[in-house]
Amino acid sequence: MKNDNIDFQTDDFNSDPEENLRIENEILHLKLKAELGGELISTETLSPDLENTFLKNVLEFERAFANSQQVKIIDFLGRPSFRKAHDLADHEMESALEYVCALMREKSIVIDFSGNYDLRLKYSFITEELFEYETDIIHIPGMITHYIYEEFHPSHELDIEARATDFLTGWFNQKLNDHCWELANNFILPNKTVLSKNEVLTKIQRVFDAYTAFLEAEYTIEEINFVLRENELGSGICKGRLSYKAILENGEKIEMDGSFTLYLSMEDQWWNIFYFDLPGFKWE
């Protein structure tokens, strides 16, 4: 008979603390497998102490989630009183916003705004939309639940900027690889040639192999434009300037400076880069 509430005692296994920790981690793995019905992701790269903390946190979260109930955030907060946005004067918005944010913080809920928005928009969103949002409330001591405004109201400009930042950071750190989700699966060159993501990464790696490092990197984004089409499709472009020093194996520094352009497409609400032009890279 299957027992979904398997529990084990982990005290007094051994006089060796390290061996006790190893045994406890093995038991935590068994608990997770028994309760979740599947294998957990590998924890081989973690130290025994970190692995123990990680496994306990996962187990606590999964148990809390299993016992959670969907509820409106306003109900979870105890339906506190607050003023409607249209009843507030502009000079009252800052204190009113801090009040509702404090109500949420008391219940370990935080709202994040990635873009710059006026106080009235923030207050209206929290009191008229977020408070009415129905979700699974999982209460674990020390855990904070974050909500992001842009997940409710996507900002294409911010998304494109984020893709550009990820790509340029990866370039400067010489760490662009198959796990870089800002890169499209297929690249389209100006001559209509189509290259796979792996083919493009191979070209990029050849550049990385030619230098030991890229130092003193700087960039500025000067322009972002996009066009949305039907069926959640879109095209975008990001332009700016960058500079960095490419270091050869003999220590020689080559100055890279100039404008860059990234071309992006959107599908299923996700922007990715399908072609780029930047100093230090040639498509030939």
Residue 237: both structure tokens together: 């472009």
Q: What is the domain range of residue 257?
A: 156-277
For residues 265 and 276, give the distance between their C-alpha atoms in angstroms, rounded to a whole number. 12
**What residues pair up with 223 in beta bridges, in sequence order?**
239
pLDDT in tens, the chain (284 residues): 344 444 445 454 556 777 777 777 777 777 777 666 655 666 666 787 887 777 777 766 666 666 657 889 999 999 999 999 999 999 999 999 999 999 999 998 999 998 899 999 999 999 999 999 988 776 666 778 899 998 899 899 999 999 999 999 999 999 999 889 999 999 999 999 999 999 999 999 999 999 999 999 999 999 999 999 887 799 999 999 999 999 999 999 999 999 999 999 998 889 999 999 999 999 98
Domain count, the chain: 3
> Which CATH number goes with the domain that contains 203?
3.10.450.50
Is 262 in a helix, a strand, or coil?
A: strand
Q: Domain ends where: 152, 173, 200? A: 152
In a shared domain, residues 137 and 110: yes
In a shared domain, residues 249 and 182: yes
Residue 243: both structure tokens together: 């500079």
Residue 185 lies in a domain: yes
Is 62 in a helix, a strand, or coil?
A: helix
At position 106, the amino acid (one-letter code) is E
In a shared domain, residues 97 and 141: yes
Residue 168 lies in a domain: yes
In a shared domain, residues 52 and 129: no
Q: Domain ends where: 120, 152, 184? A: 152
Q: Which of 209, 207, 218 is nearest to 280 (CA)?
A: 207
**DSSP state letters, 205-259:** HHHHHT-SEEEEEEEEEEEEEEEE-STTEEEEEEEEEEEEEEEPTTS-EEEEEEE
